[in-house]
Chain A
Amino acid sequence: MAIELNGKSYETDEEGYLENLADWDPDIAKVMAELDDCDLSENHWEVINFLREYYEEYQIAPAVRVLTKAIGKKLGKDKGNSKYLYELYPYGPAKQACKYAGLPKPTGCV
C-alpha cells in the first residue's frame, strides 16, 4: 500500500504505518491524520515532535509514562496524564501518535 502526495509515494503497511521512517515529513503526518478524521492541533504536534525526538535517541517509542511526563512539562501539569493524551489520540497515544510521527507501531502486550 502507498499514499500518494505531492508527486511522492509513501509506502505504508496494512495498518497505514510508514514502511520507511525516512519518508516522513509533516505533510504526510497531516494526511495520515485526515484519513482518521483527526485534525492536528499544536498540542498534537507537541506529542508527535516528542515521539520523533525520543525515537531518534532510543530507536523505540517512549513508554506512556515517559510521554505523559514530557507532555506535562511542555503543556502544563494538567495535560501530563494519559487521559489528556487519549483525548488527543483516542485510538491510544502510543499507537495513533506513532503512526502520524512515522514510527513503527509498538508491538507486544500493549
Chain B
Amino acid sequence: MQAAVVDKAVAAVAKPKDFDVPVLGDYLQVPSLAPGSMAHSKPFEAKPVHQEKLGFPGELIDNWQEVAVAKLGDLVKSSRGLQVYLDSCVKCGACTDKCHYFLGTADPKNMPVARQDLLRKVYRRYYTVAGKYLPKLVGAEDLTEEVLDDWYTYYHQCSQCRRCSVYCPYGIDTAEVSMAAREIMDTVGKGQKYCNEIIGKVHKLGNNLGLPEPALADTLEGLEEDVEEEIGIDVKFPLDVKGADVLLVTPSADFFAEPHIDGLIGYAKVFHQAGLSWTISSHASEAANFGLFIGSHDNMQKVALRIREAALELGVKRIVFGECGHAWRVGYSFLNTLAGPFDFLDSNYPVPQHIVEVTHDLLQQGRLTLDPEANDDKRVTFHDSCNVARASRMGSLPGGQFTLPRDVIKASCNHFFDMPANTIGEATFCCGGGGGLLTDDLVELRVKGAMPRMQALKEVNDRHQITHMAAICAICKSQFSKVFPYYGFQMDQIISVHQLVGDALVFNSDPGARRITQ
C-alpha cells in the first residue's frame, strides 16, 4: 500500500490535535501501563427522547442505585452464563494483552479482566456471602456514583468483539458482561445516544439511517440507472416485490455510504446473473440490530420481528443477509428464537443465509463465472469481522466463516494475501468501531483501538504491497474509511467483498461473455 501517500484533504483535518496516534513499529508491542489515560472518553448520553422510545427512563432516576442492583440480580438469575462469567475469573492474566483497546490506549481498565471487574465487584458486594460481610477481602465494592461513571466510561470502550474470550481458559465472555452493564445503565436512565437514537429510528422507519421508503426507492432507482450506464445490463434493485423468492436484509449503510454501496451492487449482479428473484423490504430495510449492543432482549426482538413481518408480507421463500457483522451474529445465532419459527420458508436453504454463502454455493454449482483478471489491479487482504469470526459460522463445515469469504475473494481476484495468523480467523482484531462505538464522539478510542489491525495491515503490506482490504461488515467498512488516513493509508482502500465479486462477474448470457469492468 502506498502508505506515504495520504489524501491531503483528509489528513489536514483528520489528524487529531488533542491525542497522539499510535506509531506502528515492526511488530505489535504490549504498551507500558498508562492508568487513567482513557478516563475522559465517554460517548454522548442519550436524551429523554431517545430513551423513552426504547422503553427506558428518560434520565437517571432518583433511586438508580437500588434499581441497578436489582437489575443486576435479575440478569444474573436469568443468565447462567453471566453468573459463571462473574464467578469464575481466577485472575490468570491471559486476557490482559488481547484487547485492541488496551493495546491501543494502554489504559489498564481496558484489560478485559479489569473491565469485567467493574461489574464483578458490585456483583460480589450484593450477591455473594463473602462480599456482603468481608467486602474488602474479596474486592467487593458498593455501587457508587463513581462506579457508575466508570461503567459508562469503560463499558463504552468495549466493542464486544470477544477476542479476549478466545484466550480465557474459562471462556469468560466480556461481551456479555459489557452488554449486561449497558442494559443496567439503560434501565436506570443512563443510555448512550448513538445506539439508542438509532434503535428508535429502526422501530419507526425500519432502518438505522431513518431512510423513509420514498428515499430508499429513489436511491435504488438511481443505482439501476448507474449500473445500466456502466455495464449496459439492466440489473434490478427490487423493492417490496411480493412473491419474490429471496428477501435481502442488508445494512442500510449499503444504500447510503461508500464503499458499502459497491457491495450492494455486487449482490444485485449476483442475483441477476443467477436468475434469482429477490427483493429488498422497506419495512425491514436494515440488517443491523443494535439491540444486541445494548444487551436489550426486548429491543433486539422488536427489531428482529420486522424481518419476520416483511418475509410474511412479501411471501418470500428465503432470507439472505448482506454484509453486516453483528447482524450475522443475530441472524445466525438468535433469529429463530427471537422471531421464529420460520417454517413458512423453503427448508432447502438455511434460515437465514449469508450473501457470501449464496455466492459461494452458486460458484460451486457453476452458476456464476468470475474472471479474477478483472481485479488484477488489486492486491487484496481480508479483515475477519469479529461477530462473523467468533459468534457465527457459514456453510456446513467448522471454520466456514473463515474459508467461504476467502474462497469467494480468491475466485474474484488473483492476488490475495492474509495478514499474520494471530490477527485473523478466530484471533482477528476488531476494526476498533464495533459494538455501538462507531460514533464521532469516540474518535480517539476508535483510532487507538484500530492500532492492532493497522499494525497487521502494515505487516502484510510491507511484504506484499497490498492495495485493498476487503470486509463483510458495514461498521468495519465505515470505521476503516475513517481511521485509515490516521495511519497513512487512504480511505478508499477498504472495499466490500461483493465489490470484488461484482467487478469480476462474467455475464454469460450476454453475447461474447462481456466482462464487467469499471
Contacts and interface: CB of A to CB of B under 8 A. Distances in A.
Interface of A: 14-15, 57-60, 62-66, 69, 82-83, 86-87, 90-91, 94-95, 106-110
Contacts, number: 95
Given A107-B201, A110-B478, A64 B256 contact: yes
5 contacts: A58-B215, A94-B256, A107-B198, A108-B253, A109-B474
Contact of B475 (A58, A64, A109): A109
- Of A60, A83, A108, the most chain B CB neighbours within 10 A belong to A108
Contacts of A83: 7, 492
Interface residues of B, number: 44
Q: Is chain B's interface secondary structure helix, strand, loop, or mixed overall?
A: helix
Interface string B164-208: 000000000000000000000000000000100110010000011
Nearest to B254: A109
A64 B261 contact: yes
B495 to A, nearest CB: 13
Given A65-B226, A82-B258, A106-B209, A58 B214 contact: yes
Contacts of A59: 212, 215
Interface string B203-238: 000011111101100110011001000000000000
B94 interface: no
Interface stretch (B10-18, B274-282, B506-514): B10-18
Given A58-B218, A63-B219, A90 B44 contact: no
Given A60-B209, A83-B7, 18 more contacts: A14-B441, A58-B214, A58-B215, A59-B215, A60-B211, A65-B223, A65-B258, A66-B222, A82-B258, A90-B9, A107-B197, A107-B210, A108-B207, A108-B252, A108-B256, A108-B288, A109-B251, A109-B253
Contact of A66 (B219, B251, B492): B219
Contacts of B12: 90
A91 to B, nearest CB: 6
Contacts of A60: 209-212, 215
B218 A109 contact: no
Contacts of B324: 109
B10 A63 contact: no
A46 to B, nearest CB: 17
Interface of B: 7, 9-10, 12-14, 44, 194, 197-198, 201, 207-212, 214-215, 218-219, 222-223, 226, 251-253, 255-258, 260-261, 288, 324, 438, 440-441, 474-475, 477-478, 491-492
A85 to B, nearest CB: 10
B218 A66 contact: yes
B219 A90 contact: no
Contacts of B218: 58, 66
B256 A86 contact: no
B195 to A, nearest CB: 10
Nearest to A64: B258
Contacts of B222: 63, 65-66, 69
A59 B204 CA distance: 14
A11 to B, nearest CB: 13
A32 B214 CA distance: 30
Contact of B257 (A57, A64, A87): A64
